[in-house]
Amino acid sequence: MTTAPAATNEFEPRYASRASRMKASEIRELLKLLDQPDIISFAGGIPDPALFPNDVIGKAYADIMADPKQAASGLQYSTSEGYPPLVDWIVGHMGRLGVPCTRDNIVVTNGSQQALEFLGRLLLSPNDTALVTAPTYLGALQAFSSYEPRYDTLTPEKGNRTPASYTEAAAAGGGSVKFTYVVPDFGNPTGETISQAARQSLLDLSAELDCPVLEDTAYAALRFEGTDVPCMQAMDVARSGHIDRSRVAYLGTFSKTLTPGLRVGWICASAALIRRLVLIKQASDLNCAAINQMVMHRVATACYAEQVQKARALYRGRRDAMLAALAAHMPVGVTWTKPEGGLFVWVTLPPHVDGAALLKRAVAEAKVAFVPGHAFYADGSGRNTMRLSYSLPSEAKIADGIARLAKLVG
């Protein structure tokens, strides 16, 4: 019998300095343990697979493979910019959002996660500053952190600091402010939406700092109620007169509306920025899988609007169930956001309650899971917060899970 060699890593001394910022999050490790059927999980935040348009997707693959010409291009290398008919669909979609643009303004990415990674790679030198909200999307922090930035904090609704204050802090940190990053609609993790006035101020701040705005719109289509707020890119194009003069890079994705499985997202930005990003795309993975883009084009053309309606109806019911259960069961001293769309509610616990410690007890004693909030803070603060997602459990399970969780908090 042979024994496995002891786990050593002789490569470690050779790692680049950026590797020191690439850590498995303690939370992701913990969440791996939660795949047990008896756990009610508010942790994931992934779309409900019951919504995936399996039939339309299956037929699209079958039709492509049944046509030798289409199959040949679907299984071949393809252009780094993206599959032209899909790019045309995206151009039309951006036009409907108030951003007139052309093919030259789009690059297709493997989800918006790849877009975040590319923009970090393009914009950040070590010690540069990325301006982010606190909390913000954990995956963005992971994507940016490989490029060794420092972070400073945006507070869009309260009013941001002065441009000079950000610039001075960035210079003291050894670099300059390279971009502002926000998830303006039903953000991950808080579920909150940045108001139109606050978007305008953020555009003003970014103009004064002369830096790009990365607008991550992963959940923007999932509005259940309230009034639509224009995307920041549309507001900026209205100010500057043309997409090629816009400082906003719009990150779009089909993940929360159609399916994350095909890994299709996009960046819409000035043609000059897109040309640079296309070079990064070439260096990174040449192109997104042509067949997945062909399928996504067919699916988006066949049922985008219908899928969005279905998703809104399903998640709205679950959001209602979660807000009702929180109101019914949470003790005084606990507060939470009331999202008008998206997949998340953000809970602030009394100051002495630690979200990570609560998760351990919640899993062991109540069979309920969530994500402790501190993971979403660049500086690790926010210990008394948690993110609850209502995207997967049924309304009945949501009611039951929140009641069980509240007993541990009270």
Ligand X SMILES: Cc1ncc(COP(=O)(O)O)c(C=O)c1O
Binding site for ligand X (CB under 6 A): 111-113, 137, 139, 183, 188, 216, 218, 253, 255, 260, 265
CB of residue 389 vs ligand X: minimum separation in angstroms?
A: 10
CB of residue 266 vs ligand X: minimum separation in angstroms?
A: 9
404: its two tokens:
């069980």
For ligand X, the closer CB: 101 or 262: 262
Task: Give residue for tokens 């606190």.
Answer: 134
CB of residue 344 vs ligand X: minimum separation in angstroms?
A: 9
CB of residue 171 vs ligand X: minimum separation in angstroms?
A: 29
For ligand X, the closer CB: 175 or 184: 184
CB of residue 142 vs ligand X: minimum separation in angstroms?
A: 11
For ligand X, the closer CB: 82 or 111: 111
CA–CA distance, 305 with 266 (Å, rounded to integer): 18
For ligand X, the closer CB: 265 or 373: 265
Query: Mind giving me the DSSP string for 266-312?
Result: EEE--HHHHHHHHHHHHHHHSS--HHHHHHHHHHHHHHHHHHHHHHH
For ligand X, the closer CB: 105 or 113: 113
Looking at 306-392, which runs of residues are DSSP E strands? Answer: 335-336, 344-348, 368-369, 371-372, 385-389
Query: Mind giving me the DSSP string for 125-177?
Result: PTT-EEEEESS--HHHHHHHHTT--EEEEE-TTT----HHHHHHHHHHTTS-E
Task: Give residue for tokens 């707020």.
Answer: 229
CB of residue 333 vs ligand X: minimum separation in angstroms?
A: 28
188: its two tokens:
């991950």
CA–CA distance, 5 with 7 (Å, rounded to integer): 6
Nearest residue to ligand X by CB is: 111
For ligand X, the closer CB: 325 or 374: 374
